[in-house]
Structure 1
């Protein structure tokens, strides 16, 4: 019985030692400060189109990523054009939406939400807009590169 207790005590001591070393090494890693990764402020966005009235509850149908610095990349079908367009409107999504589109759409209620979230030139951005149906979304977004994916 004493031999069993010594074995259990030794195993517990080893386990405690491993946990202590693990905690110390994790603490040191967690305490490290974030180093800048480059000369450019981050500009990374996630753009989505979803079915529903609200971006928080919509069912996402399509999503793309867009990174604009130091070069345009991501899953967006036209990253260079999208980055150039967003830069041209000074990161104001509202300027990309035509308030009075020239296309006639039905009045059916089949809401679609377009949203964007991420970082633009180091600043957090979050934006969404709801359209009555897919036709009104296409009409309001026109042929711009950023929100047509």
Structure 2
């Protein structure tokens, strides 16, 4: 009788172990190149501004410029700090914004954050990657 009970327990554990990854996979972004992007403005309540999912290979997610953002990131090997800066004349207005990125790029975890003097400077430095409002 002990053998049957032990066998059932082992089978139950195997079933549970097999079910857990499948349930988790439905709620997590797919494997591959993906980033959850966000921009927070100084003085805004924490969590007031949502995030945008950027998926690459193929480009998609909720990012309004996914194709260009993925191309920019691919050229920089996924390193946001290596994105080429655009020539832009930005006003010297102090309105700090902080850009956040978390996700995976070519199997490497990404966890990046940087504060910029204003939105113009953010866009000049990060191009389409943080152009989250559709403009």
Q: 1:59 to 1:51 in 2, by over 3 A?
A: farther
1:86 aligns with 2:73: yes
CA distance in 2, matches of 1:112, 1:59: 14
State the TM-score, normalized to the length of structure 1: 0.60
Asked whether the 8 Å contact 1:47–1:116 carries over to 2, the reply is yes
State the TM-score, normalized to the length of structure 2: 0.66
1:64 to 27, 41, 52: 52
Work out the number of aligned pairs and report it. 116
Cα shift at 1:66: 1.2
1:105 to 73, 88, 91: 91
1:114 aligns with 2:99: yes
In structure 2, the partner of 1:129 is 114
User: Tell me, which stretches of 5 or more residues in structure 2 are unaligned?
Assistant: 1-7
1:148 to 128, 131, 135: 131
CA distance in 2, matches of 1:31, 1:62: 33
The DSSP-based 3-state class of the residue aligned with 1:90 is coil
Asked whether the 8 Å contact 2:102–2:110 carries over to 1, the reply is yes
Structure whose CA Rg is larger: 1
CA distance in 1, matches of 2:71, 2:107: 17
Cα shift at 1:29: 3.6
- Cα RMSD, aligned residues only: 3.4
The DSSP-based 3-state class of the residue aligned with 1:61 is coil
